Amino acid sequence: MAVLKRAKRQAYTFPLPRRMPALVREYALAYVREPMFAPLLDLESAGDGRFTAPPSPDKGERMFGGQFLAQCMAAAQATVADDRRVNSLHGYFLRPGDVDLEVGLDVEVVRDGRSFSSRQVVATQRGKELFRALLSYQVPDESPEYVASPMPDV
């Protein structure tokens, strides 16, 4: 049983250890392949830039950090125009999350311009800040084409 628990914890880091038994290794890979993230991004709007994310189906010791990133990004995306795409994301892990509790997401509109939008998202549980993200969105534009000079013969 301890080997299976270790496999679950290590399933998020690739490649898996070579010493891991084949059956446990296959279990760990199947565990990662499950579409477990999709339900976590079904955020419930509480109005005024507030969202609630469901508890994690993963019953590990702590919440997976990528979950915070994905949920903050989904909450921020819900507050910007559809034509804008993420061009920058900075995240700060402040405390571990409890997998059995919902995650509160507060989105602050930092700026909305012609081409760029900025959002700050704070993820909380039990009134404590767990994760803070700063996201920048941009309207996609055509980049100029550059013609590089050929490399000199040395």
Lowest mean pLDDT of 13-17, 57-61, 87-91, 99-103, name the range: 13-17
Q: 37-138 has which CATH code?
A: 3.10.129.10
**DSSP code, position 64:** -
pLDDT of residue 30: 59
pLDDT class for 4, splitting at 50, 70, 90? very low
Q: What distance in Å separates the CA atoms of residue 133 and residue 135, rounded to the nearest whole number?
A: 6
pLDDT of residue 40: 80
Q: What distance in Å separates the CA atoms of residue 144 and residue 68, rounded to the nearest whole number?
A: 35
pTM: 0.69
Q: Is the dihedral angle over the CA atoms 33, 29, 94, 113 positive or is it negative?
A: negative
Q: What distance in Å separates the CA atoms of residue 42 and residue 39, rounded to the nearest whole number?
A: 5
For the stretch 79-131, pLDDT in tens is: 999 999 999 999 999 999 998 999 999 999 999 999 999 999 999 999 999 99
**Is residue 108 a contact partner of residue 147, using CB atoms and an 8 Å limit?**
no
Domain edges within the chain: 1-34, 37-138
